[in-house]
């Protein structure tokens, strides 16, 4: 939990930025990556020990440029957290939704896959090498308003399972962070009464990492009803409840 060099994509807001600040407080070197250069510079200026690098996860060339910069300037990198993503509602009867679906797949599924493909080789042989993917409780019980978002997060869950299996022989631990609804800017959820306050979520996540560092899935209490709905026989009830929101 300390003494690491951690790169967080999507680190300029929400869960990504919150994790960056919490890990910096724990005594780690933290690199945040995102599209907005001015915001990266502002966050770095206000948080000594957090460094910003430009990254567009939709652009393979940008990902490769990030890899080259990390290799040159942060060769001790041993932790990658893929927190970048978008969430937008879709009406599946409206042909215009297709552009939203394609953008969501690019950012939420292809983005992490491309980023991990580029950076995972840099972690081989590093002490405590770790990749943390970020899926969602909606990977397990979907929200009707966001069909493609749900699908990408389900894809990240499946990808994480196999990534863990394949990278284990190389000494890279793979954890999957599975958030519930959290009060962030994602789809305007800052004021959502049913969403978990961001600071509360971050505190519980950090406690889990301290207490159970070998957990394959990082599950706060609020997400467990979604994660285990199928096993507990409550899937249909929760799916209907989500559809009413």
Active site residues: 149
DSSP string, 125-185: T-TT-EEEEE--GGGTS--TT-HHHHHHHHHHHHHHHHHHHHHGGGT-EEEEE---SBSST
Instruction: For the beta carbon of residue 48, count every other beta carbon within 10 angstroms.
Output: 8
Alpha helix ranges (H) inside the chain? 14-25, 37-46, 60-73, 97-105, 111-123, 147-167, 198-211, 224-227, 229-232, 235-243
Cα–Cα distance, 125 to 137 (Å, whole number): 32
Question: For the chain, what's the residue count?
Answer: 245
Torsion sign, CA atoms 152, 187, 85, 127: negative
φ, ψ of residue 129 to 5 degrees: the values are -60, 130
User: Do 199 and 206 meet the contact criterion of CB atoms below 8 Å apart?
Assistant: no
Instruction: For the beta carbon of residue 210, count every other beta carbon within 10 angstroms.
Output: 10
């Amino acid at each position: 939990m300390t003494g690491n060099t951690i790169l967080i994509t999507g680190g300029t807001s929400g869960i990504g930025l919150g994790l960056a600040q919490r890990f910096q407080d724990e005594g780690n070197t933290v690199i945040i990556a995102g599209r907005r250069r001015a915001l990266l510079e502002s966050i770095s200026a206000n948080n000594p020990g957090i460094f910003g690098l430009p990254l567009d996860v939709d652009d393979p060339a940008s990902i490769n440029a990030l890899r080259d910069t990390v290799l040159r300037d942060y060769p001790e990198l041993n932790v990658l957290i893929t927190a970048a993503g978008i969430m937008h509602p879709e009406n599946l009867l409206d042909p215009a939704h297709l552009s939203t679906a394609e953008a969501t797949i690019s950012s939420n599924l292809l983005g992490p896959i491309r980023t991990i493909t580029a950076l995972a080789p840099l972690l081989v042989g590093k002490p405590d090498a770790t990749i943390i993917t970020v899926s969602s409780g909606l990977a397990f019980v979907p929200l009707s308003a966001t069909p493609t978002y749900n699908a990408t997060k389900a894809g990240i869950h499946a990808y994480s399972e196999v990534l863990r299996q394949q990278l284990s022989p190389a000494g890279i631990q793979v954890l999957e962070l599975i958030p519930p609804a959290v009060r962030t800017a994602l789809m305007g959820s800052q004021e959502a009464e049913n969403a978990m306050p961001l600071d509360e979520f971050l505190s519980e996540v950090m406690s889990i990492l301290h207490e159970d560092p070998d957990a394959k899935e990082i599950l706060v209490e609020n997400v467990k009803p979604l994660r285990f709905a199928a096993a507990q026989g409550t899937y249909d009830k929760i799916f209907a409840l989500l559809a009413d929101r």
